[in-house]
Amino acid sequence: MPKLSEMTDTVFDGVTYGYVPPKELKISPKLKLHKGAETEVDPVTYEVIRHNLWNINEEHGATIQRISGSPVAMYALDLNPSILTEDAEFVYFGPYMQYMSGVTDTQVKWILEHRSDNPEIKPGDMFLANDPWVGAAHQMDVMLICPIFHGDELFCWITNCLHQYDIGGITPGSFCPSAESAFEEGILIPPVKLIENGIIRKDIEDIYLRSSRKPKMVALDLRAQIAGNVTAKARIEALLERYGADKVKAVMRQVIAKAEVAFLDKMARLPDGVWQDRTYVESCRPGDRRTHRVVITVKKEGNRLIFENEGTAPQDGAMAWA
């Protein structure tokens, strides 16, 4: 992978290079975003709405667990739900497999930029995605992304991610140690509108399930994800009805602002410095008997954390370093 200094003309579009959202998202004027928010919320109401949002997110994940029937969901808890603002800033994610949500915002921002004009983003829609170039941890972690509208304005997003049994690839189960690229690990799905006006698009579902050796199990997991989104969507809509959209949005923004203050306070109490860890991974493909060095360096400078992987072995076989 080229160094950042060599990529000044690179287009981070999620196709050739991984998607990196710009500071200003290019969103179609067809899509109206809910930007309103009350300037003040009393402390009691703030805590009630804040905890309500957290519990909605937790219930979202629990719904997937109960309906899936999958040991991956029920016992391994290899799933995660999220709530984001209209422009894809995190409000809550967790408390399940939290790494799954680390790139949720990039997927939602990609949808805002690439789907708001065609096929458009409307009430009752949900988008299916697992493309690592857009923002997926790996291809078996399939995301279902749902916009929530208030009137004709996009109010916020809810998403979930669930590890699927099998999405194709050269090895059953889609863990493919012999794979030399992502194209050998199963189907790649940039965000596509799977549900339109509350109805599953059968043609899109057929494409998705056709790639799997376990289509019935994957279909059940998919319906668990749909149910999770439907449950969380209904709860948030009830919250908007009770307290008003501007008040709920104000709480969302305060949650984000207070999280930033807490993070910066923690950073201010940590000394500047450099920390490094080194480990080794055995085997990058069947028959490989080598070890491959992995190095992570963290630099703390003021209120910034800088992560580097210089010193890591070159990409090889099934191992791809970011």
Report whether pLDDT(294) > 60: yes
Q: Catalogue the long-range contacts made by 252-257 (C-beta closer than 8 Å, 24 or more residues apart).
A: 252/53, 252/83, 252/85, 252/91, 252/156, 253/37, 253/85, 254/41, 254/46, 254/50, 255/50, 255/53, 255/91, 255/92, 256/85, 256/89, 256/90, 256/91
Q: Per-residue confidence at 8, pLDDT binned at 50, 70, 90?
A: low
R_g (Cα) of the chain, nearest Å: 21
Q: Per-residue confidence at 5, pLDDT binned at 50, 70, 90?
A: very low
Calculate the average pLDDT of the chain: 92
Report whether pLDDT(285) > 90: no
Q: Per-residue confidence at 4, pLDDT binned at 50, 70, 90?
A: very low
Q: Per-residue confidence at 9, pLDDT binned at 50, 70, 90?
A: low
Q: What is the pLDDT of residues 226-277, one digit of tens each?
A: 999 999 999 999 999 999 999 999 999 999 999 999 999 999 999 999 999 9
Distance CA 275, CA 180 (A): 32
Report whether pLDDT(20) > 70: yes
pLDDT at 164: 93
Q: Mean pLDDT across the stretch 62-66? A: 94
CA distances from 231 to 66, 211, 226, 252 (A): 12, 28, 9, 19
What percent of the chain has pLDDT above 70?
96
Q: Mean pLDDT across the stretch 42-68? A: 96
Q: Mean pLDDT across the stretch 152-163? A: 97
Q: What is the pLDDT of residues 161-188, one digit of tens each?
A: 999 989 998 888 887 778 888 888 889 9
DSSP H helices in the chain: 43-68, 71-74, 104-114, 202-210, 215-243, 245-268
Higher pLDDT, 118 or 185: 118
pLDDT at 173: 83
pLDDT at 320: 65
Report whether pLDDT(322) > 90: no
- pTM, two decimals, is 0.91
Q: Mean pLDDT across the stretch 14-26? A: 90
Report whether pLDDT(38) > 50: yes
Q: Mean pLDDT across the stretch 76-89? A: 96
Q: Mean pLDDT across the stretch 112-124? A: 97
Q: Mean pLDDT across the stretch 155-160? A: 98
Q: Quote the tokens at residue 34.
A: 């809910």
Higher pLDDT, 102 or 311: 311
